[in-house]
Amino acid sequence: MSVLLIAEFDQQSLKAATRSAITAATQLGGDLDVLVIGHNVNAIAQQVAKVQGVTRVLVADDAAYAKPLAENFAPLVQGIAARYSHILAAASSFGKNLVPRVAALLDVDMVSEVTKIIDASTYVRPLYAGNLNATVQTSEVIKLLTVRPTGFTAAKDGEQAAPIEAIATLGDQSLSRFVSENIQVSERPELGTASVIVTGGRSLGSAEKFEALMSPLANKLNAAIGATRAAVDAGFAPNEWQVGQTGTVVAPDVYIAIGVSGAAQHIAGMKESRLIIAINQDPDAQIFQWSDYGLVADLFDAVPKISAAL
Amino acid sequence: MKVLVGIKRVVDHNVRVRAKADGSGADIASAKMSINPFDEHAVEEAVRLKEAGVATEVVVVTAGAANAQDVLRHALALGADRAILVETTDHLNSLASAKVLREIAKREAPQLILIGKQAIDDDAAEVGQMLAALLNVGQATFASTIKIANGKAEVTREIDGGQETVELTLPAVITADLRLNDPRYIKLPNMMMAKKKPLETIAIADLQLNTVSKVATINVAEPPARAVGKMLNSVEELIEVLQAQVKVN
Ligand SMILES: Cc1cc2nc3c(=O)[nH]c(=O)nc-3n(C[C@H](O)[C@H](O)[C@H](O)COP(=O)(O)OP(=O)(O)OC[C@H]3O[C@@H](n4cnc5c(N)ncnc54)[C@H](O)[C@@H]3O)c2cc1C
Ligand SMILES: Cc1cc2nc3c(=O)[nH]c(=O)nc-3n(C[C@H](O)[C@H](O)[C@H](O)COP(=O)(O)OP(=O)(O)OC[C@H]3O[C@@H](n4cnc5c(N)ncnc54)[C@H](O)[C@@H]3O)c2cc1C
C-alpha cells in the first residue's frame, strides 16, 4: 500500500494544512510519497523531504505549473495514480479545487473533508453544516480524500531527509489561464492556523467600529481576526476572514466570539475550538450553548475595557 | 449563448437536522426542503447574463425525485426559461450527479454551466470539478465575479487568504459562491408565469449510467454535545479568564 499526498505551498514554505494532511496520511499506513507540483520548487521539495513520515518526494517542475490550475495539475496526478492506494490533499481551497477533478478523471468517487481516519478505508466526515457526522467506507480501488486540517495535528520535521525524485510533466492543457491574485498580507497570524482568534459579528455596526474594537484586542492577544458571514456581507470585514460552513474552518486554542449570534453555519466552522468564549448582550443567544465561558454584556462597553486591561 | 444550471433540492438551511435513532442516516422525512442556497445564486447569475444580453437561454436541471419539481419551478420563477428533471429516487453520489449533468450537457450543448459550489446537505463541493473533468473543460470554483466576453469567462474565485482571477475558454463549468450576487425576491406574477414554462422529465434509466456508489455510509450520528459552559458575571471575570488562558502580548 502506498499513499500519495499533493502538497500545497506558497512562495516560501509548505502550508501548515499540508503538514496536517501528512499526519492524516501516515494514519492510513504504508509508504508516503509527497508530490510537489510547481515551478522552481527546489526549496519547497527540500522542506517537504524533512517532514516526519515522508518516504519520498516527487517533483513536477514546469512553467505551466507556476500557478495551481486544476486543469493542468489533475492529468499529472492521474498519470501516476495507478501506483497508489490513496491520493489525498488538505481540504483547503486548493485541495477542494483539485482532488474532485482527479477523482472524475480516474472514474472514482471520493470522500471530502475527512475529520477522522478509522482505518484505511473508513473515515468520518461532517454533513449538514456539522450537525451530523457520517462514517463512510469506500471500496474504490484508489481512494481519493481531502482531509480537514483542523482534525489532525501538523507533522513536524524529522531527523532525516527523504529522497527527492523528478517526474515527467505534461505542460499546459490550454483550458484555463491564471490572470491575477489578491492575497491579503497581514502581520497577524493566519486565520486557519492561529492559536487565538477573535471574531466579530454584524453587531459591530461598521467597518470602522470593527477595526477600532477588534484590532486592539487581537493585537494584545496575538490573535487572528475572524468574522461572521453577516459581518462580511455588510462590508465590515474581508471575505477571507469568514469563519463557518462556507468560510474557513478553524480550531484554535481560544476562540472569542463577540456579538455573534451562533447560527449553525457559523458554529460549523469553530465548534472544534479548545476553549470558546462569547460576549453577547442577549442572554438567550445560541452562541452561549457552545461557549465554555459566556458574558452577557454590551460589546461596545466590554471590549475596550478588556483590551485596556490586558 | 446557452447556460445550463444544475440545482439540487436540499433540506432548508434553517432546519436543524438530526440523526435517525438507528444511525442509518439523517432524519429528514418531514423537513422543509428548498433549493440549495448556492444554486439560487447560480440561477440568479445565469438570469442576469440573459438580461444583459450575454446569454440567450437559461436551462435548469436537477436529478431527483418527482417532488424536485418544486425547486425547478422556483428556478423558473427566478427567470430560467426551461427545466429538466432527471427522475430518480436513488441517492446519487457526487460522481453520479456529475455524470447525469454531463449527459444533459451533451444533449443541450451549453456554452456555460453554472452550479452551486457545494450542496448544504453533504457539503461535498465536488460535483462542479468532477463535471468539468468529465467534459474536459475548464473550471472556476467558488466564483464571486463572472465576466463573459469573446468566448471566454473571466472569473474571480474565493481562495484561502484572498481572491484569484482566472480566464477560461468556453464552454466551461463555474461554481457559485454566495458573494456572486443577491438572488432576487420572487414576486407572485413570476410564480404564476413559472407554472407555464416547459418542464421536461427524463427517466434516469434513459441515460444508461452506472450510478452505483462504492462509498457506503455506515453510520450517521450527532457530534458529542459540548459540556455546559459557565456564565461570567462581569468584564473583570472575563479578563481573568483571558489572562489565565492566553499569553498576552
Ligand atoms: C448557505 C449558508 C451558508 C452560510 N455560511 C456562513 C458561514 O460560513 N459563516 C457565518 O458566520 N455565517 C454563515 N451563514 C450565515 C449565518 O446563517 C448567520 O446569518 C450569521 O452567522 C449571523 O451573523 P452574526 O452573528 O454576525 O449576526 P446576527 O445573527 O445578526 O447576530 C448578531 C448578534 O449580536 C448580538 N448583539 C447585538 N448588539 C450587540 C452589542 N451591542 N453587544 C453585544 N452583542 C450584541 C445580538 O444579540 C446577536 O446575537 C450562512 C448562511 C447560509 C444560508
Ligand atoms: C445521510 C446521507 C447518507 C448518504 N449515503 C450515501 C451512501 O451511502 N453512498 C453514497 O454514495 N452517497 C451517499 N450520500 C450522498 C452523497 O454523499 C452525496 O449525494 C454526494 O456526495 C453528492 O454531493 P453534493 O450533492 O453535496 O455535491 P456538491 O458537490 O456539494 O454539490 C455541488 C452542486 O452540484 C449540483 N448538484 C448536486 N447534486 C445535483 C443533482 N442531483 N442535480 C442537479 N445538480 C446537482 C448543485 O448545483 C450543487 O450545488 C449520502 C448523503 C446523505 C446526506
Q: Note the pLDDT tens digit of each residue in A122-157.
A: 999 999 999 999 999 999 999 999 999 999 999 999
The CA angle B4-B6-B11, to the nearest 5 degrees, is 155
Confidence of residue B164 (pLDDT cuts 50, 70, 90): very high
**How far is residue A162's CA from residue A35's CA, in Å, rounded to a whole number?**
12
Alpha-carbon distances, residue B6 vs A32, B101, B119 (angstroms): 37, 7, 11
Structure confidence at residue A187 as a pLDDT band (50, 70, 90):
confident
Total residue length of chain A: 310
Q: Distance between CA A199 and CA A203 in Å, rounded? A: 11
- Which residue in B118, B49, B133 sits closest to A175, CA to CA? B133
Q: φ, ψ for residue B153 (rounded to 5)?
A: -115, 125
- Residue B61, helix vs strand vs coil: strand
**Terminal alpha carbon distance of chain B:** 57
- Residue A116's pLDDT band (cuts 50, 70, 90): very high
Instruction: Give the mean pLDDT of chain A.
Output: 96
Res B75 pLDDT > 90:
yes
Of A107, A176, A190, the CB nearest to B166: A176
Average pLDDT on B203-214 reads: 95
Residue minimizing CA distance to atom 2 of ligand 2: B25
Q: What is the CB-side half-sphere exposure of residue A72 using CA atoms within 13 A?
A: 23
| pLDDT over 90 (residue A43) | yes
Candidates B22, B154, B166: best to mutate against A (most CBs of A within 10 A) is B166
Q: Please give the pLDDT value at position B174.
A: 98
- The CA distance from A34 to A262, in Å, is 38
Half-sphere exposure of B62 (CA within 13 A, CB side): 29
Cβ–Cβ of A275/B245 closer than 8 Å?
yes
A183–B120 C-beta distance less than 8 A: no
CA dist B223 → A134, A268, B219, B226 (Å): 10, 11, 12, 9
d(CA A87, CA A38): 18
Atom of ligand 1 lying closest to residue A202 CA: 26
- Indicate the burial class of A215 (C-beta count within 10 angstroms; 0-12, 13-18, 19 or more): middle
Which H helix or E strand runs over B242? helix B235-245
- Residue range A58-107, pLDDT digits in tens: 999 999 999 999 999 999 999 999 999 999 999 999 999 999 999 999 99
Do β-strands A86-90 and B57-64 pair in parallel, antiparallel, or remain unpaired?
unpaired
Among B residues 81-100, those touching chain A with beta carbons less than 8 Å apart: 93-96, 98
- Per-residue pLDDT of A240-268, as tens digits, reads 999 999 899 999 999 999 999 999 999 99
∠ at Cα A18 (A124, B126), nearest 5°?
Answer: 50
A179/B165 touch (CB, cutoff 8 Å), yes or no: yes
- CA gap B112, B108 in Å, rounded: 11
Report the C-alpha gap between B78 and B184 in whole angstroms. 7
CB contact under 8 A, B241 and A293: yes
pLDDT tier for residue B247 given thresholds of 50, 70 and 90: confident
pLDDT of residue A184: 81
Of B11, B93, B217, the CB nearest to A134: B217
pLDDT band at B65 (very low <50, low <70, confident <90, very high): very high
Residue nearest to atom 9 of ligand 2 (CA): B216
- Interior angle at CA A98, CA A97 and CA A104, nearest 5: 110
Measured in Å, residue B83 CA sits from the centre of ligand 1 at 34
Q: pLDDT digit string (tens) for B76-128? A: 999 999 999 999 999 899 999 999 999 999 999 999 999 999 999 999 999 99
Q: Nearest CA to CA, how far is A163 from chain B (Å)? A: 30
Average pLDDT over residues A223-231: 97
pLDDT bin (cut points 50, 70, 90) of residue A235 is very high
Beta bridge partners, B115, equal B6, B175
pLDDT of B103 reads 98
Q: Which whole number is the average pLDDT over B135-164?
A: 96
d(CA B116, CA B41): 7
Phi-psi region of A125 (alpha: psi -120 to 50; beta: other; left: phi over 0): beta
A143 shares contact with chain B (CB less than 8 Å)? no
What is the mean pLDDT of the segment spanning A5-16?
A: 94
How far apart are the CA of A166 and the nearest CA of chain B, in angstroms?
Answer: 26
DSSP one-letter code for B50: H
Is the CB of A109 inside 8 Å of chain B's CB atoms?
Answer: yes
Residue B172 confidence (pLDDT): 98
What are the grid coordinates assigned to A117, written together?
481516519
Tell me if chain A has a CB within 8 Å of the CB of B31: no
pLDDT bucket at A118, cuts 50 / 70 / 90: very high
Question: Which residue of chain A has the CA closest to B129?
Answer: A101
Expressed in angstroms and rounded, the spacing between residue A201 Cα and the centre of ligand 1 is 6
Q: Which residues line ligand 2 (CB under 6 A)?
A: A 127; B 6-8, 25-26, 36, 38-39, 61-64, 91-94, 97, 115-116, 118-119, 121-122, 124-128, 213, 215-217, 220
**B130:A271 CB<8 A:** no
- Whether ipTM > 0.90 holds is yes
How confident is the model at residue B67, as a pLDDT? 97
How many Å apart are CA B213 and CA A111, to the nearest integer?
A: 12
Instruction: Compute the distance between CA of residue A85 and CA of residue A101 in angstroms, rounded to an integer.
Output: 17
**Res A186: pLDDT:** 82
Residues paired with residue A257 on neighbouring β-strands, in sequence order: A199, A278
8 Å CB contact of B163 and A181: yes
pLDDT over 80 at B240, yes or no: yes
Burial, A173: exposed, middle or buried (Cβ in 10 Å; 0-12, 13-18, 19+)? middle
* Longest Cα separation, chain A: 61
- Asked which of A122-131, A179-188, B9-18, B188-197 is least confident by mean pLDDT, the reply is A179-188
Q: Does A254 touch chain B (CB under 8 A)?
A: yes
- Chain pair A-B, CB pairs under 8 angstroms: 262
C-alpha of residue A151 to centroid of ligand 2, in Å: 23
| Closest residue on chain B to A222 (Cα) | B249
Determine the residue of chain B that is closest to A287 in CA distance.
B229
Which of A100, A196, A293 comes nearest B129 by C-beta? A100
Main-chain phi, psi angles of A200, to 5 degrees: -110, 150
pLDDT at B248: 81
Cβ separation A138–B169 shorter than 8 A: no
Which candidate from B122, B126, B140 shows the least CB-CB separation from A127?
B122
Q: How far is the CA of B97 from the centre of ligand 2 (A)?
A: 7
